[in-house]
Amino acid sequence: MEYDSTYQQICSMRTVQSEKKGFFNEFYLDVKESCGDKWLKNCFGQLKSNAARVLSIFSDREVCDPVLGVLEHVQPVFKQKEALFAAQRRAQADKYHLLSLSAVGDLERKDLLQQALMHANLSVMRAPARDVDASIDDGLTLALAYRSRAGILIALGEGEAALNDLKLAANYGVESKSVDYYCKMAKAYAAMGEEKRADISLKIAEKLAGADTGHIVACRQELSTITPTTLDPEAKTPQLTHGENTELRGAANVVKLVETKEKGRFVVASDCLKTGDVLLCENPVAACLAPIFFGSHCHHCFKRLRTPVCCLHCSGIAFCSAQCMGEACDSYHRFECEFMDLLIGSGMSILCFIALRIFTQATNLEQGLATANSLFENLCSHEDQRQADDYLQRSLMAAFLLRILQKALYFGRRKTEGVNPTAVELQVATSLLGLLQVLQFNAHEIYETMVTEEHRFEGSKVVFVGAGLYGTASYFNHECWPSVAAYFVGKRLVLTATKPHRPNEIVAVNYGPLFTKVNLKERQRNLRGRYMFSCTCMACQENWPLLQKLDKQVRFWCTSANCVYLLKFPKDLSKDVRCPRCRKNISLKESVAKLIKVEELYREAAQAMQDQKTVQAIELFKEAIDVFFQIAGLPHKDTLIAQQSLLKCLADTGTTFKK
C-alpha cells in the first residue's frame, strides 16, 4: 500500500487542532514560521525525547520568544453569572407557570409548562451563589430559581426532580421552615408515589400554618389529583459473562493479553467464547464531553439534562445532579472552570481536553504524573514515525495546557507570574506531550443512540457526545469486520462478542472503516494515515467486497476433524464433496440443513426487532450466529446483517434517548 505522508500529516494535525477556527492553529503556524524549516529539521527534529522537546520550546532562542509572548497573555475566559438576567428569566418562568393554570386543554398546559421550565433552567444556570451578589433578591437568586423550578416540575408530575430542587433551594438560602415549602414537599412526594412521606410533609405544614388552614385545604385538594409519574428506567451495565479478570481491569476472565513482535500487545480469547458474551465493562481513565453538548448533557456523567444543576462559579457547563456537580467541582472543574471558554476558543481537539483532564482529576500532582507516565509507557504512541512539525505542534499544545494549569493554581501559588516552568512543571508538560501522542491512537468516541417515538430501530441514529481513554480497551486490536460490538452505558464502555471465538483467537474491535462500507484501498489509506499501520485482517487479505456487492453465497467448513478449509456451496447435495486440503470426501447435507435453520432464526430475530422486542431479538441472533460459525465462515451477507442488527439491539440496551 502506497504511503501518503500528506494525508497522514493532516490526520495527525486534526487530533490536536480539530477546527481551523480557533487561535491555537494561528499560534502554531506563527511559531513554525518564526523558527524556520532549518531549525525545525536540524535542531528540533533531532531531539530524541519529549523532555528535550518541551525544554527546547521554552529555552531555545530560535523559538522561545514567540512562544512565551503568547503564553504570558493567557487569562481566565468563561461565562460568568448574572443575577439580573437570572431574576428576569425566573419572572418569565413564573409567568408561564401561572398561565398554565388557566390553560384550556392538556396540550396547551403542557406547552406552557415546558416554556416555563426552559426559562427556569436559564435562571438556574445564570444565578450567582448567595455570597457572590446580594444586590438582587437579597442574594437569594439561585435559591429562588430552584424553588420556582420545583413548582413547575410538580405541575409536570416530576416529583423526584422537584424534591431535589427544593433541597437545593433550602441549601442556598430559601426558608425551609415554611408552609409553602412543606406543601411543595408534600406534592413532590405525591408525584413520586410516596404517600406516607407526602402525608408527613403536609402534617408539618399544618403545624406551621396554625390557624391559617386555607393553604392546607387547597394543598390537600391538589394532592388528591396528583397521579404518580413513572419514569423510564435507566440503562444498566451488564455483568461480565465469566467474572472479572484479575489482570485486565474491567475485562472478563475468558480473555487475555498476548504480545508479538509484529502486532505488539493485544487481546485474545483464553477460552471458548459464545456470541453475546460480555467481555468488557470498563470505566474510562478519563473522559470529556464534546463542547457542543455542554448545554444538553451532564458535564460529569454525560447524562442528558432535563433539569440542570449549575456550577456555582460559571455558567458554561451544567450537571444532572448536585452529586455530579459536587464531584466535578471538588476535582477537575475547579481548575478548568475559569478557562473553559479559552480552551474551547483555542479550537483544540477533544483529545487535548482528555490530556488536561488526566491531571486536573488526579488526587494530587504526583498521581497525575504517575497515571500519565504509565499510559505513555504501556500504550502505543508511534514515536519513531512522527515528523518534526508534528512534535512541534504537540509540544506547543502541551505548553498551552501547562500554562492553563499554572494560571489555575494547579501547582499552588507560584513565586512569579512568568511563563518559564519550574522543574516539576516541566515534568508535567513532558507528560502532557506523551499523552497527546498516546491519545491519538487509543481514545474511543463515546456515543448514545437516538430513537424515534415511532420505532426504536427504524430511524435510530448514533450520536457521538464525547471521547474517553480506556486502559484495557486500548489493547483490543483492529479488524475491518470486528468480532465484538461496542456500546456505552453512560461513560462505561461495553464490549460484547458478536461471534463465537476459539481459544487464542484475536478479539477485535473496529477503529473506523468497515469493509462493508469502505473498499480496501480507502480503508488502508485511512488506517495508515490515522493510525499508522497497515491492516492484515482476513477482510483485507481476501479483499472482501462491499456489502451491497456481496452475493448470498456461503462457504462451509470441511467436516473432517482438524480440517479448517472453506468449501463452496455444493452444486449437488446428494453427492459428497472432495476437500482439496484433507483430500477426504465429505457430505455437506447436515451443514446445509443447519444453514436453513440459521436463516429461519435470522428472520425471527428481524421480526422481533420489528416488534421492538429487543431482548428476544438478541437471544435469537445469539443462537443463530453461534450455529452459523459452527458450519460456515464469513463473508456471508445475511450473517453480516445479523451481526450489525445484534449491535443495534445491544446498543438499545445502553444509553438511548428519544428524538
Annotate 105-158 with DSSP letters as a single string. Answer: SHHHHHHHHHHHHHHHHHHHHHPPPTTT--SSGGG-HHHHHHHHHHHHHHHTT-
> pLDDT value at position 133?
64
> Is there a contact between 201 and 182 (Cβ–Cβ < 8 Å)?
yes
* Section 403-426 average pLDDT: 90
- The packing angle between helices 350-360 and 365-378, to 10°, is 130
> Is there a contact between 391 and 32 (Cβ–Cβ < 8 Å)?
no
Pairwise CA distance, residues 18 & 467, whole Å: 13
Q: For the ranges 282-286, 415-419, 547-551, which has the lowest average pLDDT?
A: 415-419
Q: How far is CA 515 from the centre of its chain?
A: 25
- Burial code of 571-600, b = ≥16 C-beta within 10 A, e = fewer? eeeeeebebeebeeebebeebbebbeebbe
E-assigned strands of 416-530? 443-451, 461-469, 484-489, 492-497
Pairwise CA distance, residues 591 & 631, whole Å: 6
In tens, the pLDDT along 58-88 reads 999 889 999 999 999 999 999 999 999 999 9
Pairwise CA distance, residues 357 & 435, whole Å: 11
Q: Does residue 256 sit in helix, strand or coil? A: strand
What size, in residues, is the chain? 659
Asked whether residue 231 carries a pLDDT value surpassing 90, the answer given is no
> pLDDT value at position 552?
82
> pLDDT value at position 224?
85
| pLDDT top residue among 262 and 379 | 379
* Domain parsing of the chain, residue ranges: 83-223, 547-650
Q: For the ranges 136-140, 228-232, 341-345, which has the lowest average pLDDT?
A: 228-232
Among 207, 205, 232, residue whose Cα is nearest residue 219: 205
Asked whether residue 210 carries a pLDDT value surpassing 80, the answer given is yes
Among 382, 400, 402, 379, residue whose Cα is nearest residue 390: 382
Which positions ≥6 away from 312 have C-beta within 8 Å? 128, 129, 132, 142, 329
In tens, the pLDDT along 438-494 reads 999 999 999 999 999 999 999 999 999 999 999 999 999 999 999 999 999 999 999
E-assigned strands of 543-629? 555-557, 566-568, 577-578, 585-586
* Section 591-620 average pLDDT: 97
Asked whether residue 30 carries a pLDDT value surpassing 80, the answer given is yes
Pairwise CA distance, residues 567 & 438, whole Å: 43
Q: How far is CA 474 from the centre of its chain?
A: 15
Q: Model confidence at 132, in pLDDT bands (50, 70, 90)? A: low
Bridge partners, residue 289, by sequence? 466
Peptide bond into 76 cis (omega under 30): no
Pairwise CA distance, residues 582 & 580, whole Å: 6
CA dihedral 283, 286, 291, 293 (to 10 degrees): 10
In words, the CATH class of domain 83-223 is mainly alpha
Q: CA-CA distances (angstroms) from residue 310 to 74, 85, 168, 284? A: 25, 15, 11, 24
Please return the burial class of 545, using the count of CB atoms within 10 Å of its CB with bins 0-12, 13-18 and 19+: middle
DSSP state of 49: S
* Section 156-170 average pLDDT: 96
Pairwise CA distance, residues 170 & 131, whole Å: 15
> Mean of the per-residue pLDDT values for the chain?
94
Pairwise CA distance, residues 240 & 310, whole Å: 35
Q: For the ranges 146-155, 226-235, 455-464, 546-555, which has the lowest average pLDDT?
A: 226-235
Largest interatomic CA distance in the chain:
100
Residue with cell 477503529: 511
* Section 398-426 average pLDDT: 91
Among 319, 314, 333, 305, residue whose Cα is nearest residue 126: 314
Bridge partners, residue 557, by sequence? 566
Pairwise CA distance, residues 522 & 527, whole Å: 9
Q: CA-CA distances (angstroms) from residue 268 to 36, 273, 506, 514, 544? A: 47, 10, 4, 20, 23
Q: Model confidence at 1, in pLDDT bands (50, 70, 90)? A: very low
